[in-house]
Structures are given as C-alpha cells and as structure tokens.
Amino acid sequence: MSIYTIIGLIFASCFSACFTILYRYSLKNDPVRQRLIKLEGGTDGGGQSALGIDSMIQREAGLKGLSPESVSGMKAWLAMAGYRSPQAAPSFYQYTILGAIVIGALAFGLSFFFHLKISHLVLATMGGVALGGLIPRLWIWRRIALRRDEIRRAVPNFLDLMVVCVEAGLSFTAAIQKLADETRLSCRPLSEELRLATQEILIGKSKADAFRNLANRTGVEELRSLAVTLIQADKLGTSIAHSLRVLADSMRFKRHQRAEEAANKTTVKLVFPLVFLIFPELLVILVGPALIKIIKTLSEVAR
C-alpha cells in the first residue's frame, strides 16, 4: 500500500468529520427547526398534535426510519448523561455512523498496509466498524456513571442543607429552589435535576412524584430512598425535617461504608502492579550484580 493511498484515506476521514460537524451546525441554526422545537409538546394553529410535530422533527433531523418508542428511549438514555437538547439523539446517531466510518477506514488502511490476507482484512475492517460504532455508546455509559457518582456524593450534603432550609421556615418547593441555586457550582448535575423537579412541582405534580421522576432520571438509589421517605411522610403525617435528618444520617453512614470498602479493595488492586511491574525490577537490581559476578567467576574457572 502506497503512501498516497494512506493520505487519501486520512483525507476522506477528516473530510467526513468536518462535513458532519458543519452539517450539525447548520442544522442547529435552521429557523424552521427552531420553530418546530418551540412548538414541540403543544398544538399549532391548524390543530396539529404534538405527535405530528414530533414526527416532523424526526424527519427533519434525519430520524425518519426510527420508531417514536426508540427515539424516546434514546432521549431518556441520553438525558441520564446530561444531554437533553433536541439535537442529542440525532447527534448521537451521527457520531455513531461517523465513528464506524472513520475507524473502519483506518482499520482497512492499516490492514492493507501490512498486506494481510483477505479474510483477515475483512475481519479487521468489520471489527473497526463495530468499534467505531461502539465508542459513542461507551462514552455515554461513562458519562452516566460519572454523573451518578457525582450526584451520589452530593446527596448527603444536599439533605443537610434541605433540613436547615425547612427548619428555617421555607416551604419544601422554596427549599429545593434555594438548593438548586446553591449547588450550581459544587454539583451542577444535581442542580439541573433539582430545577427540573421544581418545575414539575410548580406545574402540579406532588413532591413524591417529582422526586420519583428525579430518581428514575438519574438512577441514583439515594434519591429513590428520598422519594420513598417523602411518600411515607405524606401518608403518615410526620415531620419532613425529622425524616430528612434521619435519611441524611443513614446516607452519610453508607458513604462512610463505601469509603471503607474502597480502602479495603486497594490491597487487592495493588497485587497486579507489585507482582508484574515492581518485583521484576527489584529482582533485576538485587540479583543482577550477583549473577554477573557468578558468570564471570564460572567463565574464569572454565578457562
């Protein structure tokens, strides 16, 4: 494979990436699309339903072949990672296709450069396509895990602040709004989720339903426990501040247990670097000079 072929493949990959980025930028600034996004969820003057508007947005975004269930499921999955814009689902599919094309082309070029067999070349290309299509999904999974961990670590402090706000005389909704502003810098994901929960409460949903939706959006068990606590407090008529204080103490104890568990796991995790990375070097440093002297002595005796 000549150098010109490799340069051509690299140029084609870069051209595809640039074209996709420019296409997404032009699509984002399209006034027709922005108008359709504003009308999403309601009806227009001609009595068009929200489902019709959603289908128009799907066609305009290039998702015509997908069912509304798959699109809504993809949107919910991307929302767990913090991507809630209307362009999130189309962008995800575009990055998936782009990654499959780019990685597949690079795998094909490298296989052709090293003169692999046809069967190996086909397998390498198919593997590159699969890997390129899987990279965006792995990125989203990683983002979801990091976001959950960040929210989980901030929940005990959030509950303590909520207890202080409720006992100071603020209503539950006002306390959530205050904490959404206070946690904007320390934990931005939790602040965004609290704002959504506040909006749901303001439009008429109960506190338990709003926090149940919050737990379903984030997948954090601590927030699910908070929703259960609020439901029990409403049914039994107990003090919300007292229930939140007990729940905060329980979550703080669980966080302490997780920290101890992580500390106990470090001894097992250090086995691999000690055995395979540190001990061989120590063996060479300590035994190496003795082995050199033994070899020199044996060579002199053999003479």
Same domain, 36 and 136: yes
Does 164 score more than 80 pLDDT?
yes
Mean pLDDT over 117-124 rounds to 84
Q: Assign residue 160 the CATH number of its domain.
A: 1.20.81
pTM, two decimals, is 0.66
Do 274 and 166 fall into the same domain?
Answer: no
Residue 1 has pLDDT above 70, yes or no: no
Same domain flag for 279 and 203:
no
Residues 282 and 185 in one domain: no
Residues composing the chain: 303
Do residue 17 and residue 118 come from a single domain? yes
Q: How many domains does the chain have?
A: 3
What is the tens place of the pLDDT at every residue in 43-61? 333 333 434 444 444 444 4
**Which CB contacts under 8 angstroms, 24+ apart, belong to 113-117?**
113/1, 113/6, 115/1
User: Can you read off the two tokens belonging to residue 276?
Assistant: 């395979």
pLDDT score recorded for residue 2: 57
Task: Please give the Cα distance from 233 to 206 (Å, whole number).
Answer: 13
- Mean pLDDT, range 130-140, rounded to an integer: 90
31 vs 216: which has the higher pLDDT:
216
Same domain, 135 and 243: no
Per-residue pLDDT, 52: 46
Q: Which domain holds residue 174?
A: 150-264
Q: Helix, strand, or coil here: 43? A: coil
Integer Cα distance of 69 and 77 in angstroms: 12
Tell me what pLDDT residue 12 has: 67
DSSP state of 42: S
